[in-house]
Structure 1
Amino acid sequence: MTNQNVVVPDAKKGIDITIAMALPKSLFSPVVPKPLPAAPGGYFTITRKRFSKKTETGGKISSWVDSMRDSSPTRVKSTTSLSETEEKNSWIVNHPSALNMFEQIVKGSKGKQIVMFLDYDGTLSPIVEDPDRAFMTNEMREAVRDVATYFPTAIVSGRCRNKVYSFVRLAGLYYAGSHGMDIKGPSKNNCKYKKGGVLFQPASEFLPMIDEVYNVLLERTKSIPGAKVENNKFCVSVHFRCVEEKMWAILVEQVRSVLNDYPKLRLTQGRKVLEIRPTIKWDKGKALEFLLESLGEYIIF
């Protein structure tokens, strides 16, 4: 990797947390209730072997449903006895705000190139029931535009890259969609650095398979009210935010039955969503590394 002077959040801790807490709350729409924070890490992977063990015998599906329930940000775990204040304090300890150490950050950034990485859902936009309506406010858009004026800025999301761009509508940014599997930089006309048009798609061979799985899941989940299947180009998302909890086990079984026919795909779970992704060693963290290396080739320090 090119030797670079950059200041970025630790990708393993979740790039969305640091940036989201540093932006004013007023930039979010006031009519949308703020969700409870998700568990650290955002996503976790269930390997095919572990998933099979979960579903081989009766009652194993319920343990999977329990994990869905526990990772849902709009619920409080039934086993906890913490008060609201204690929960908030615990959250702050595990996810400290950059504002509380802003002077140290400024001091540490002297002589270094700052690069901004932002998530989209829950960071630039509120979490909403309908993923197609996760719009960012004009104030938030202007804030991102201002940041991009001074620092190279990238949006890294699990969403389809084109979908994220349709929400953000800022041409001078770098966009990494599908959990970093679809990366594109600004065109030469919109890029103020030496080069433009960074493009990288490490899972391009999976596109036909993803399209096929998407169509199969659309059919399999028709009978489950509230389930929404989203084609994010290099991964398929099954949203269960609007699905009644009593139907979660059925939804899991439907998704699992599809996954069994595609050994080159894996199942992950996020905030009110199940996702099917290619089994390649690539994620948002790898996307950040790729972008930093690409930026290092042509940023003038």
Structure 2
Amino acid sequence: MVSFIEERPKNNAAGQNMVSDPKSAQKPPAPPGFISISRKKLLQNLEINAGARVNSWVDSMRASSPTHMKSAPSIADDQGSWNLNHPSALDMFGQIIDASKGKQIVMFLDYDGTLSPIVADPDRAFMSKKMRKTVRKLAKCFPTAIVSGRCRDKVYNFVKLAELYYAGSHGMDIKGPEKGSKSNKDAESVLFQPASEFLPMIDEVYKQLVETTKSTPGAKVENNKFCLSVHFRCVDEKVIKENSKSQIIKLCYHHLIKWSELAQQVKSVLKDYPKLRLTQGRKVLEIRPTIKWDKGKALEFLLESLGFANCTDVFPVYIGDDRTDEDAFKILRDRGQGFGILVSKFPKDTNASYSLQEPDEVMDFLRRLVEWKELSLRAQSRM
């Protein structure tokens, strides 16, 4: 039997956490909230769907976590309905602008998968020069923050724009624009670190994970200061393209097993650290302190820091691609202010209102926002 451990998100966010164990037939039944699927049944399901959906799987394996290899085909049948409920932010740009009239737009942007493509090596997730130029122009028009699961300093080194707000480690490390930056000379630097007491524990677990995951090829542990990320490189696209459907099925199964083994290694380390919790994102396992803080809380903190805590004339826009961004999408939906935009090529359960398919579309959307703002300012100057 192959067990898939599913951590059911409270907000029905996209995807499922799956952990498999080839020897689970000899182990006690899975606890409540866990599901088990036999290897035979899994392979049959893969074979049934292979003929019509291999291309979807290839795209999914490029862009999302291994769990989506299971979920994407079934949800894809309802693509039209999903697009109706989460239309393209580019197609609905006029409607979005109409909703923001008379309000201050504030931009919140995830980094990986939003401003840069998802890549096998997390240290090479560079944003393009065109994207950096676009984000720089955006920050001149609207208050802009990067909200990422990565270490704040690492995100800053990728983006290299001093005029932005940066919220690293899923919002547990927040800092405002650097004093003396051209566009924010008088801005005070915001610094908030609600999980400082966990730093020694995070460092200790990091060292253990580096040692424990050495046996898994493609695994990489990233220290994001207030949280940890365990990355797992997906099956190489060239290998997928050059293999037959039956070989792809075997690769998919092998990939799930390897992902499972890595997750079990991580869980074996974390069992001695109850103050840390494990979640899953796109191609990554995340370890964070169990404090009540996430990207949604970071969004609220930044709005308050900007003076928009209880304002009705603010219009926050959050763009992200990951399950962790759902916390921010939900905050905006609950506040009834602004909206979230999910970056995804595939239907997912989400609290976002609109969608974009990839970073290039994100750049197009940001460019249109900048152009609209510049035209508005020129029109006002003529009056």
Select which of 66, 70, 74 maps to 1:77: 70
C-alpha distance 116-82 of structure 1, shift in aligned 2 (>3 A): closer
Q: What is the 5 A alignment of 1:108-119?
A: 108-119=99-110
Q: Is the 8 A contact 1:42 1:270 kept in 2?
A: no
The 10-residue stretch of structure 1 (244-253 or 169-178) with the greater mean CA deviation from structure 2:
244-253
Aligned to 2:303: 292
TM-superposed deviation, 1:110: 2.0
For structure 2, the 5+ residue unaligned runs are 1-9, 19-23, 43-60, 236-254, 315-383
Instruction: Say whether the 8 Å CA contact 1:125–1:135 is kept in structure 2.
Output: yes
Alignment of 1:170-249 (within 5 A): 170-190=161-181, 192=184, 194-242=186-234, 244-249=255-260
> 2: CA distance between counterparts of 1:269 and 1:82?
19
Name the residue aligned to 1:41. 13
Shift of the alpha carbon at 1:251?
Answer: 1.5
The separation in 1 between residues aligned to 2:25 and 2:226, in whole angstroms, is 26
- The separation in 2 between residues aligned to 1:43 and 1:183, in whole angstroms, is 28
- 1:241 deviates by 2.7
Alignment partners' CA distance in 1, 2:203 and 2:113? 27
TM-score by length of 2: 0.58
User: Which structure has the larger Rg?
Assistant: 2
Cα contact 2:171–2:295 (8 A) shared by 1:
yes
What SS does the corresponding residue of 2:117 show, helix, strand or coil? coil
CA contact (8 A) 1:117 1:155 kept: yes
- Aligned partner letter, 1:132: D
Give 1:55 shift. Answer: 12
Q: Verify the 8 A CA contact 2:177 2:187 in the aligned structure 1.
A: no
Q: What amino acid maps onto 1:98 in structure 2?
A: A
Q: Tell me the SS of whatever aligns to 1:183.
A: strand
Shift in Å, 1:56: 11
Normalising by structure 1, what TM-score? 0.73
Distance across 2 between alignment mates of 1:271 and 1:174: 24
Q: Deviations over 1:19-41 (max 9, x none)?
A: xxxxxxxxxxxxxxxxxxxxx73
Q: Deviations over 1:247-279 (max 9, x none)?
A: 233222211111111111111111111111000
Residue in structure 1 matched with residue 273 of structure 2 by the alignment = 262
- 2-structure distance, mates of 1:154, 1:43: 26
Structure 1 letter corresponding to 2:162 = A
Q: Equivalent pairs: percent with the same residue? A: 67
For 1:163 and 1:254, the matched residues in 2 are separated by 26
Q: Secondary structure at the match of 1:229?
A: strand
Residue aligning to 1:105: 96
Structure 2 residue matching 1:237: 3-state secondary structure: strand
Q: Distance in 2 between matches of 1:250 and 1:123?
A: 28
- Structure 1 contact 174–183 (Cα < 8 Å) conserved: yes
**Deviation above 3 Å: which 4+ runs of structure 1?**
40-46, 54-66, 73-76, 78-83, 86-91, 242-245
Distance in 2 (CA, whole Å) between partners of 1:254 and 1:238 is: 11
How far the C-alpha of 1:111 sits from its partner, in A, is 1.9
RMSD, aligned CA: 3.5
For residues 61-87 of structure 1, what are the alpha-carbon distances to aligned partners after superposition, in whole Å with 9 as ceiling and x for unaligned?
985999xx9x7269542794576xx56
Contact 2:177 2:189 in 1 (8 A): yes
* Alignment length (residue pairs): 252
CA distance in 2 between counterparts of 1:212 and 1:94 reads 44
After superposition, the Cα gap between the structure-2 partners of 1:239 and 1:87, relative to the gap in structure 1 and judged at 3 Å, is: farther
Q: Cα distance 1:180–1:55, how it changes in 2: closer, same or farther (>3 A)? A: farther
Structure 1 residue 192: Cα displacement: 2.5
> Which moves more between the two structures, 240-249 or 148-157?
240-249
Do residues 163 (structure 1) and 154 (structure 2) align? yes
Contact 1:116 1:151 (8 Å CA) reproduced: yes
Distance in 1 separating the partners of 2:199 and 2:275: 12
Q: CA deviation at 1:152?
A: 0.4
| Structure 1: stretches of 5+ with no match in the other structure | 1-11, 14-39, 47-53
1:4-56 deviations in Å (ceiling 9; x for gaps): xxxxxxxx99xxxxxxxxxxxxxxxxxxxxxxxxxx7368889xxxxxxx999
* Contact 2:118 2:125 (C-alpha < 8 Å) held by counterparts: yes
Looking at structure 1, the residues matched to 284 and 75 of structure 2 have their Cα atoms a distance apart, in angstroms, of: 26
Q: Could you tell me which amino acid in structure 2 is paired with residue 189 of structure 1?
A: G
CA distance in 2 between counterparts of 1:55 and 1:288 reads 44
- Tell me: CA distance 1:284–1:210, structure 2 relative to 1, closer, same or farther (3 Å): same
Q: Deviations over 1:89-139 (max 9, x none)?
A: 355235322223322322222221110001101110011111111110000
